[in-house]
Each structure stands twice: as C-alpha cells, then as structure tokens.
Copies of this chain bind each other. A is one copy, B any other.
Amino acid sequence: MHASQYHINTLKEAPTEAEVASHQLMTRAGMIRRAAGGIYTYMPMGLKVLRKIEAIIRDEMNKAGAIELLMPVVQPAELWLESGRWEQYGDELLRIKDRHQRDFVLQPTSEEVITDIARNEIHSWRQLPINFYHIQTKFRDERRPRFGLMRGREFTMKDAYSFDRDAESAQASYDNMYQAYMSIFKRLGLEFRAVAADTGSIGGSRSHEFQVIADTGEDLIVYNPDSEYAANIELADAPCLYDERAPATSDLTKVATPQASKCELVAQLLDRPLTDTVKSVVLATDTEEDGQTHTQIWLLLVRGDHEVNDIKVSKLDGFEQGHRLATEAEIIETFGCQPGFLGPINTAKPVQVIADLSVAYMSDFICGANEAGFHYSGVNWGRDLPEPIQADLRNVVDGDPAPNGGQLRIQRGIEVGHVFFLGDTYSKKLQATFLDANGKPALMQMGCYGIGVSRISAAAIEQNHDDKGIIWPRAIAPFEVVICPIGYQKSDAVRQQADQLYAQLQAQGVDVILDDRDIRPGNMFADWELIGVPVRITIGDRGLKDGIIEIQTRRAHDSSKVAVDQGATFTLDLLQTL
C-alpha cells in the first residue's frame, strides 16, 4: 500500500464530545467518523484493525470447533416474545415496525434466534455438542452513547452459543470457550485478565469476564498477584478481617457527635481510627402477599472504611424480589431518627440487622445512636445488642487478604469478553429439546460467549497510548511497518531503497505501507505516531550516504541505525519481539 493511494486524514484536534483517549485518538487518526450518536463509520484504517481482530477471533473459534454462521440483524418479535425478553429488555432493545406494521428488533444479541435454529435443526443427542457463532452488527439503543467505540449503539460483536446434552458436557463446552478466549486475547497482544463475574439477569450459574487492563476502565477487578485468582469486584468474596472477636474493654457510652453524620467525621471528632466505626445502610424490600404489599426494613452494617456491594446484597435471603433504599419517612418511622446517626441499638421499631463478616467480629466499635448528633462508642455484640445475622456485604478493598494467601489488589479493566453458562434458561422458554440416548426428550444445556469486536479496538488504545498517539499491538495494528522516505519524489536513491525494502517486506508477508506523500517529514512522522504503527523505517539521503537507514519502534522509541541491506532482516526480527 502506498499512502498516496490510501485515505489518510489525521486531525489536530479531537471532537469536543470525545472524553476518553480511544475516542479522541481514533478520531484524530482518521479511523472512525461519527454518523450519529453512538454510530460510526469505520474509515479504512479503522476497518483494517477491526478485520484483524475478527480474523484472530474467527481462527481461534474455528480451532475450538465452533461453527460460523450468520444470523440476521433484523429479527422477528415473535421469538423475543417467546423468550419473554420483548417485555423484559429495556429501552436498549430497539423495537421497530416494518411496512406492514409487523414488530421486529434490531438484534442486541442472538439467544432467541440461535435457540430457534437449534430446536429446528437438532433432534438427537448424536448431534450434540455443537457450538455456533457469528460475527455480526449489533444494536443497543444506549440512552447516552459515549466514549466512541467503548459504548456505541451500533457495534460489531462475536457471539457464540453452545448446545449440550447435559450439564457436565455443557461445562466442558464452557471450559473449551474459556480456553479459546484466553488464546484470542493473548494473540491480540493485550494485557488482560479472565475474572469470575456475576451472572446477572441472564440467570446462568457460572460466568467469567475477560477484562482488558486499563486505568480508564469502568470495572474494578480484584486479583491476587501471587495466584490465578481474579474476580469482578461485584463478585469477589470479601473476607472477615479479624481472626477472632477481641474481648470487650470499654463500656457502652453515648457521645455527642454534632454534625458528624459520616463515619469519617465521627472518627475524626473522636480521634479514633475509621476502622473502629460501623456504617449503617438502611434498605427496604417489598413483597406482594394476598394483593397487599409487605415492606421489610433492613439495617446493613459495614465497617466505616468499607462500601456495601449491591450485587451481594441482592443475593441475601429475603432480597429475591429486589430491594431499594429506604425512604426518609420509613427511616424515621423505624429508627426514630433521621439518616446520619442511625445504628442497631434503641431503634424505634424492631429492625432486621445484617452485619458484614468483619463487623460481626468487631469489638468496642462506634455506631449511630438513633439520636441526631449522637453516636455510641464501646459497642459490643452480645452485651449491648444481640448477635447479628452475618453475611459478606462489602466490596473487597486493596490489601484484603487473598483466599489462598497473599494480598488482594484492585485494578481497573474494560470488559471485552464474557462467557456464560446458561443452562436451560432459553431452551426451556423456547422448548429446544432433543431425544436423549434413551429416546426421551430433554432440554438442551446452553452456554453463550460474547466478544465486543469493535470495543476491543478502543480498549487496546485505552491500554496502549501516549501523548503522541496510539501504540497498537502488532497483531491488530492497521499496518505493521511504515516506510517513511525523506524526499521520495526528489531523490532517486531514496525512492529506490524505499521501493526495494517495501517489496522485500511485502514478499515476507509483512503488512507494510510506504508513505510516498509529498509532505514535510515532521508531519509524516507525527501522522504515524498518532496512527500508532509499531515500526517506522526512515530512509533519507543523509543516512544512505553511509549506507544506513533508521528503524524505530513506536512504543519505546528505540531507534537503530541499520545497514541498508540488513533492513528487511532487521525489521522481521524486530517484529518478532513486538
């Protein structure tokens, strides 16, 4: 490829709405152009990146035995009604009508269509296991699309669906996909973690996210640097921080804490560590019974330096139907006190108390006194109040002890892949059955496996960029090598060397571009630093006098002066290291 025959159009400024590096840099590098909110055209170099990502995914999926097909973007409402998601799925599901006023959706995912295919195509256990996937345009009508390709509306996703005869076989299919994903992300050249994740509303029983590590990620990942352990903070078990409960040493004392409505202020006021305080969080659950709504108020206690984990709360006994923050009226009625000074002692009405595992082992602690401007100190379980129900209620924090020794660390990640064990959630709804070895109908056991193809391109940039631009991993760079001749139009020597090296690298299968544009070297270099091609080769008359060309890596800016006739070999060796 010669640059003059390609379309390169870099911008000095990013659009004002671009808040994150990937959005700014992909726009400035000319890789994407906005068509509407959350909808982009992939310009030539952006598409090249996308296709390289797709090719790696396809190759590993095929190696893992998955079979590619292509389901439509526009899907009939009937199947979504059958699964119940026509109603359940929120406004992100774009529902449309055709000219005959028939209902359709723009697919955000394809569980319904693939389950329909499976129930029509698969009749016998002999056809199982099977795993179908497609790489297709998806649409999710985000309320506030932003961050460019990180949270777009129209995007490319690879989604795979496995069908098995029983749970054991389905687990093997799941493990197979897990391994395929490990291979995919390794080949993409990204720093990532596979983390245990919550299964959320999909309702399966097992799930892992594949997270690209990046400071700008929206997800918090808990991991143990000394082991394989990694989990989304939503799911990561938070241990009890005390081996045993220390004996009580203080008396229960009511202390004035005017204006100190937060643990930090109380600790400061009383000159005690924050870890001696207990935070009160009041939640309510509503259950319908005989047409009446019964509301239960719950007091959840976590240590002052900890945060309540909403996903864990949602799994508590009694929270199956959902929960919410209690209203101020409910709080005043239950505690006889406004928020800010609440606690488990002397409530106006009986309240269900659940203490985090750590809180349950604290002694001589401080909590609200249910009286505005007052807290109790020297609070002890069993003596001052009954033993609590215990549960893991909190987010892990950096430094928490890890399950198998060592300390847990937290880092940020961008979710780019997700594997789910679905069980029979969809096969039951759509009655996807097969005849088992005994000739009896049985529900297929399913798994689903997604990768955000276009999101990976953005995540790669969030992880790999500097103030000059993008630093693509070699495997997904729009070009692996750029040859920058200084004076291609003017110097025969430069042109001949550039053309020769270009031909040599091409013959070796290197994805190389020769920048034959008649522009100033500074602009040329700036373009390729912005675009982020891993290796740049500069050929100029000055170097050629000494038989030398310059080869530089984008990431480290390592620069080597290399003999002209060694240029191709040196570049090939260098690429192996990137």
Contact = CB atoms under 8 A, between A and B. Distances in A.
Contacts of A558: none
Please classify the interface of chain A as helix (H, G, I), strand (E, B), loop, or mixed, using the class held by over half of its residues.
Answer: mixed
Contact of A94 (B40, B99, B116): B99
A76 interface: yes
A73 B154 contact: yes
A287 interface: no
Interface stretch (A42-50, A227-235, A422-430, A541-549): A42-50
A113 interface: yes
B104 A36 contact: yes
Contact of A71 (B7, B35, B102): B35
A69 B98 contact: no
Given A44-B68, A94-B99, A137-B137, A75 B36 contact: yes
Interface-centre pick from A9, A70, A139, A153 (highest chain B CB count, 10 A): A70
Given A120-B33, A130-B7, A137-B137, A72 B41 contact: yes
A121 interface: yes
A99 B106 contact: no
Interface residues of A, number: 50
A73 B7 contact: no
A574 interface: no
A292 interface: no
A40 B72 contact: yes
Contacts of A137: 73, 137
Interface string A111-153: 0010011001100000100101000010101010000000001
Interface in A55-96: 65, 67-76, 91-92, 94, 96
A5 interface: yes
Given A9-B121, A99-B94, A36 B76 contact: yes
B76 A39 contact: yes
A121 B11 CA distance: 10
A6 B7 CA distance: 40
Contacts of A96: 94, 96, 106
Interface in A301-349: none
Nearest to A123: B9
Contact of A47 (B69, B98, B104, B130): B69
A67 B117 contact: no
A95 to B, nearest CB: 9
A70 B35 CA distance: 11
23 contacts: A5-B65, A6-B67, A7-B127, A9-B121, A33-B117, A35-B71, A35-B113, A36-B72, A36-B74, A36-B102, A36-B104, A39-B74, A41-B70, A41-B72, A43-B69, A43-B117, A44-B69, A47-B68, A72-B154, A73-B73, A74-B153, A94-B96, A99-B143
Given A33-B117, A36-B102, A74-B139, 12 more contacts: A5-B65, A7-B67, A7-B121, A9-B121, A33-B121, A35-B116, A42-B69, A74-B106, A91-B99, A94-B96, A96-B96, A98-B141
